[in-house]
Each structure stands twice: as structure tokens, then as C-alpha cells.
Amino acid sequence: MTHDIHNRIALFRAEHAMSRRDLAEAVSVNPQTIGYLERGDYKPSLELGMKLARVFAVPVELLFSFDPFPPMADALRAAGERP
Amino acid sequence: MTHDIHNRIALFRAEHAMSRRDLAEAVSVNPQTIGYLERGDYKPSLELGMKLARVFAVPVELLFSFDPFPPMADALRAAGERP
DNA sequence: ATGAAATGTTGTGTTTACACAACGAATCGT
DNA sequence: ACGATTCGTTGTGTAAACACAACATTTCAT
């Protein structure tokens, strides 16, 4: 059917040094829910998706995508970082 | 206590001259579902929200918002249209 | 004026995103 | 070593997002 939704929640959570509990509180959900989302066990509501994007101050499309995200290193290089 | 989500689905659908059936087919849902969304009877999944934004070629945040959308005339004026 | 298309509404049923609890394993600071 | 935090997993329950059907009403083209 329709491809599932990929996300970078774990990535951004790591960069912001937040625990699942921290993030859960920031978006008012149960901590387990963050775990389910990160390992793709279920897909968030639009409301939760937008709240998560707001926490990380990124557009929704940078946090969620229908296509799998390319490796971070690609984006870093494309952003101008050189070896 | 969570603020509901506002959307501009009807607006964009009008601009694109699509019927609910048209839009429903474009995002693979039942036509009634579009109606429910437009009148705020229920809130879409992230997947459906992103599909709708993709149909109109706009970022999710332009189609959905936690705060009510300002009147269109405001945006038109701010965009440079003069009386 | 007639009919078709678009819309609004109501109802029933299924699936799933959540809440919440409980537990084991891994990691970390002290 | 120890406890505290984090993470992973499993299970149960509920609310709501959907599908689908049926029908009334409005709008619109001819």
C-alpha cells in the first residue's frame, strides 16, 4: 500500500540531548509513545507531528518523510563540511 | 486542552477548482473524509496531512496551524497587492 | 424547469494511535 | 559495587480517525 512514514525523531532528540521522557513531556504524550514512534511501530497524528517539529524548530517535512532519509553524512557534506 | 488544528483545505481546494471527490481521490480517502476535515469534525493523520500538502504543493505549516488562520485579504495585502 | 453534480448529515463498523502499567536489560554516575 | 536513569518490550483499554452506505439539500449547466 502506501509507504510508511520515516522520521528523524531519534536524531533530533540526540542532538538536543533530550531523554524520551523529556521529549514526551514537551509534546504532552506518554514516554512510551516516543519509543513507538522512533522505532516506527506507529505513525503520529498530524497534531503530534507538528508539535514534535515545533520542539525541534524545524518544518514538518524535515522531520517526517514518505521517502527514507539519506544518511546524515550526505547532508553534512552537501552543507559544505569537508573531510 | 490541546488546541484544535485549523486548516485551509477548502481554500486551496477552491483555488485548484477541485471537488471533494477529486481531492479525496488524489489522497486516497473517502470523499466524506474531506468534508469532515474541512468543517473541523476531525483532525487528519500526519500521513494524510502531508499528502494533502503535497497535492497543493505547499509546506504542511501553510495548510495546517495550531492558531486560526488570518483572513486571506491580510495575506494578499502583505504580499503586496494594493486596493 | 429538469437533472446531474456537489455538498451536508447521520449512522454503523473497523482499525489504530494513543494512555497506562509492569517488567527486564543496558548504561551511567558516584 | 551500587542505585538511578534510560531504553525496550508486552499487554490491556479507549477514543477517534477512517471506510462505507444512504439520503436530503443545494448548486449549477443546459
Q: Please tell me which residue lies nearest to nucleotide C20, judged from CA to C1'.
A: A30
Residue A82, pLDDT > 70, answer: yes
Residue to substitute from B7, B46, B48, B66, interface A, most A β-carbons within 10 A:
B46
Domain that includes residue B25, residue range? 7-57+68-78
Residue B83, pLDDT > 50, answer: yes
Average pLDDT over residues B48-73: 95
Taking each helix axis from N to C end, the angle separating A20-27 and A46-55, rounded to the nearest 10 degrees, works out to 120
Question: Contact at 8 Å (CB) between A74 and A82?
Answer: no
The number of distinct structural domains making up chain A is 1
Question: Contact at 8 Å (CB) between A11 and A72?
Answer: yes
Q: What is the predicted pLDDT for the residue at B3?
A: 59
Residue A10 lies in a domain: yes
Question: Contact at 8 Å (CB) between A24 and A30?
Answer: yes
Residue B15 lies in a domain: yes
Phi/psi of residue B64, each to 5°? Answer: -130, 145
Residue B1's pLDDT band (cuts 50, 70, 90): very low
Residue B73's pLDDT band (cuts 50, 70, 90): confident
Count Cα neighbours of B11 within 13 Å in the Cβ-side half-sphere: 13
- Name chain B contacts of A50, Cβ cutoff 8 Å: 5, 60-61, 64, 66
Question: Contact at 8 Å (CB) between A15 and A76?
Answer: no
CATH assignment at residue B74: 1.10.260.40
Proportion of chain A above pLDDT 90, given as a percent: 76
> What is the value of ipTM here, to two decimals?
0.89
- Name chain B contacts of A5, Cβ cutoff 8 Å: 46-47, 50
Are B2 and A28 within 8 A, CB to CB?
A: yes
Convert the pLDDT of each residue in B6-24 to its tens digit.
999 999 999 999 999 999 9
Q: What is the predicted pLDDT for the residue at A66?
A: 95
Residue A29 lies in a domain: yes
| B28 in contact with chain A, both atoms CB, cutoff 8 A | yes
Kindly report the length of chain A. 83
Rounded to whole angstroms, how far apart are CA atoms A73 and A69?
Answer: 11
Q: What is the predicted pLDDT for the residue at A1?
A: 40
Residue A2's pLDDT band (cuts 50, 70, 90): very low
